[in-house]
Amino acid sequence: MSRQYFGTDGIRGRTNQGLTAELAMKIGMAAGTHFLRGKHRHRVVIGKDTRLSGYMIENALVAGFTAVGMDVVQFGPIPTPAVALLAQSMRADLGVMISASHNPYLDNGIKLFGPDGYKLSDEDELKIEALLGQYIALAPSKEIGRARRIEDARGRYIHAVKSSFPADLRLDGLRIVIDCANGAAYQVAPSALWELGAEVIAIGVGPNGSNINDGCGSTAPMLLQETVVSSGADIGIALDGDADRLIIVDEKGQVVDGDQIMALIVTNFARAGVLRGGSLVATVMSNLGLERFLEGQGIGLERTKVGDRYVLERMREGGFNVGGEQSGHMILSDYGTTGDGTVAALQVLAALVRAKKPASEVLHPFDPVPQLLKNVRFAEGKPLEHADVQHVIAQAEAELNGCGRLVIRPSGTEPVIRVMAEGNREDQVRDVVDRICAAVEKVAT
C-alpha cells in the first residue's frame, strides 16, 4: 500500500493547504481508533512547538481524539523528545507532537509516538492511513473523551534531561550561548543549563508564532556564531524548532556538525566501556572522514537511509546505543527513545568539562573529507530514472571509485533531488556534483 499522508517523519505540509484542520481532526479520529486497545480508559498526550498554526491543529486533534472516546492531556510548547518521554511515563496509549521541525512557520506536521515512546512502525502508519479513507465510528455520547492541560510537563522534562548529565559534574564557570530557534525548547533548554550551574546567554527565546527557525537555530547558526564570539562564550548550542536536532559552535565561532558530535560522543562511550554493539549508527550522508576516523578507533559505522527513524530502527535491531545524522539528530538510547538535542548537548558539555580544554580542541576529533551537497527542484516525474541522468551518474561513480562516495536521493518531504559527493579532491567532488545536477535539471524542466 502506497503512502498518501505519512512521510519519513510523520505527516507534514503547508497549513490550510496540505495540512488542514479537517485533516488533523480525521487523523485524531483515525489514530485514536487504531489505539483503542483493551478496556482501560484511553489517553493521548499532545505537545507542540510555537507555530501560529499549532493552536488550530491542536484543537482539531483534540476534537478528533475525544470524538472516538480517547482522553487528551495537553502539554503546550514542549520538545519532541519530551512528548516521547511523557507518553511512556504517563502510560498513554499514544503521543502526538505538532511540529514541522526545522521548516518555516507556514508549515506544520503531526508526529505520532506509541505507548513505548517510539515513533510508529510502518505497519501502524499504514493502518492509520487506511482508516482515513473509511467511515470512523464515533463514541457513544456518554463515552466522549475529556481534555485537560497540565502545567508541570516542562519541569518533568527538565528533570529527565538533567538526569542524563553525569552526577559528579557541574557546568560552573562555563559561559554557554543557547539558541532555541524560537521553538519548542525556548523555556526548558536554558533552564536545564542554568540549573546545572552554567552562565546562560539565551537567544531565539522570543517566539511570536511566525519566527520559529527564522534566521536562528540549528539550520541558521550565523546568529549563534556571532553571539558566541561577541560575548566571549565557551561554547554555543543550537537546537531546531522541535529540539530534536543539535548543532554546536566552538569558542572561535566555528560550526561543529552532527558528524563531529557523534564522533566525540561515541569515542567517549567506548572509552567509558558503555558503548553497545561496538558501532555508531549513522546515515549514508555522514562524511567519509568520520568512517575513516572510527575505523582507526576500532569502532564500526553502520549506515542507514536518511531519516532518524531508520537510524533508530537499526539501533534497535542491532542493540546499538549511539546514532544520529550529520544534520544534528542525535539518538542516545540510554536516555530516550528518539532524538534529543538537549540531552546530546549535555554529553558534549560533559566531555568539555572533563577535558578542561577549549571547545575548539575538543569538538573537532577528525578532519572531514571534501563533501558537497546540492538540491535540484523538479516539477513532476522521476528524473533519476531518465537514461541520460543514469549515464552521468554511472560516469561519476566510476571516477570516485576507491577515493570517494556518491549519494543521490529524492527528498522524502519535498520535490527535490539531493546530490551529494565526497572524496579526496575538492575539485573532483565539485565537478561531479555539478554535472549530475545539470543532467537532472535538463530532464526535470
Catalytic residue among 99, 101, 164, 327: 101
Q: Does the pLDDT of residue 286 top 80, yes or no?
A: yes
DSSP assignment of 346-390 equals HHHHHHHHHHTS-HHHHS--SPPPPEEEEEEE-SSS-GGGSHHHH
Q: Class of 371-444 per CATH? A: alpha beta
What local confidence, expressed as pLDDT, does residue 380 receive?
A: 75
What's the one-letter identity of residue 9?
Answer: D
pLDDT tens-digit readout, 159-168? 999 999 999 9
pLDDT in the model for residue 401: 84
> Tell me, what's the pLDDT at 39?
86
Q: Do domains 6-151 and 173-256 have the same CATH topology?
A: yes
- 313-352 pLDDT, tens digit per residue, is 999 999 999 999 999 999 999 999 999 999 999 999 999 9
| Whole-angstrom distance, CA of residue 208 vs CA of residue 120 | 31
CATH of domain 173-256: 3.40.120.10
- The pLDDT of 90-107, averaged and rounded, is 96
pLDDT at position 410: 85
Distance of alpha carbon 265 from alpha carbon 339, whole angstroms = 14
pLDDT at 307: 86
CATH class of the domain defined by 6-151 = alpha beta
Look at residues 406, 414, 383, 390 and name the one whose alpha carbon lies nearest to residue 18: 414
Q: Out of 27-36, 174-183, 203-212, 416-425, pick the least confident.
A: 416-425
Looking at residue 146, the DSSP 8-state letter turns out to be -
Query: Which triple of cell numbers denotes residue 138?
Result: 464515533
Q: Could you tell me if 145 and 72 are in contact, meaning their C-beta atoms sit under 8 angstroms apart?
A: yes
For the whole model, what pTM was predicted?
0.91
Would you state the pLDDT for residue 91?
95
Which numeric CATH code is attached to 258-362? 3.40.120.10
Residue 413: per-residue pLDDT: 66
* pLDDT at residue number 138: 96
The helix/strand/coil state of 387 is helix
**pLDDT tens-digit series, residues 317-328:** 999 999 999 999
Distance, in Å, from the CA atom of 226 to the CA atom of 238, rounded to the nearest integer, reads: 13
pLDDT tens, position by position, 118-136: 999 889 999 999 999 899 9
Averaged confidence pLDDT in the chain:
94
Q: Above 90 in pLDDT, residue 442?
A: no
Band (pLDDT 50/70/90 cuts) for residue 8 is: confident
| pLDDT greater at residue 426 or residue 9 | 426
Distance CA 119, CA 329 (A): 14
Give catalytic status of residue 2 as yes or no. Answer: no
Domain locations along the chain = 6-151, 173-256, 258-362, 371-444
